[in-house]
Amino acid sequence: MKFSKNIILKFLPAIALLFACTYHVDAQKGEFGLRLMPTFSAFELQTSSGGKVKGEVTLGFGIGALLGFNFSEHIGVQGEVIYSSVSQKYKEQNVERRVNLRYLNIPLLLSLNTGKTKLVNLNIVGGPQIGISAGSNLFTTGGDNSTPKAVLSVKKGDIGLAYGAGLDFGINPSRTFRLGLGYRGVLGLFDISDNSNSIATDAYYILDRTHVNTKAAYIGMSLLF
């Protein structure tokens, strides 16, 4: 009995440490983070003659926040709120036009991880995204009074498929502060153009059966809690 008691006392610190480490890993269920997302977009524009043209690739931006829940070291879900501004421009004869679209995007993503609390974690995400239009602008330079007038009209909402991959790094001893770097793509599933209003005979809609696809890099910080 005395021998057993001594053995228990001897290994008690190790047992306590094991439970503490287990609790530490299990306790990191939540995650909150902020991100900066330089964004490239692609969508088709309509010319005054009714043809289609792809605009020049233009750098936009996005800023966002995420809130996640990790079921384990390897599987989790995360919801995000991202404000993004995307642009396209093109030239038609002596007229240059630039379209700016702004969205509040809300993706809900499944996250697969190699190890959420590891020093280095590789993650893959995917899921649906709802986009809410936050405004749009059309800028035109050049042309004269005989130039057909372009009209920009966008639906209030959009639905897309978001996907991506990234690496995050634990930067403090407990690895709860994470630096994240990665890629995020969004494939628009629905036509965003709204051509339901009446326009003048010398005008035309610059968007017609248009889907917005974006590709973005991101850098951000998150906290596991």
Number of domains observed in the structure of the chain = 1
- Give the pLDDT band of residue 173 (cuts 50, 70, 90): very high
Q: Find where tokens 């995007």 sit.
A: 105
**167: containing domain:** 28-224
**Residue 127, domain member (yes or no):** yes
**Residue 19, domain member (yes or no):** no
**Residue 212, domain member (yes or no):** yes
Cα separation, 45 vs 198, in Å, equals: 19
Percent of the chain with pLDDT over 90: 66
**Residue 47, domain member (yes or no):** yes
Mean pLDDT (the chain, rounded): 88
12, pLDDT greater than 80:
no
Residue 127 · residue 107 · CB < 8 Å? yes
Query: For the chain, how many residues are written?
Result: 225
Cα separation, 217 vs 36, in Å, equals: 8
For 113-171, write each residue's pLDDT tens digit.
999 999 999 999 999 999 999 999 999 988 777 788 899 999 999 999 999 999 999 99
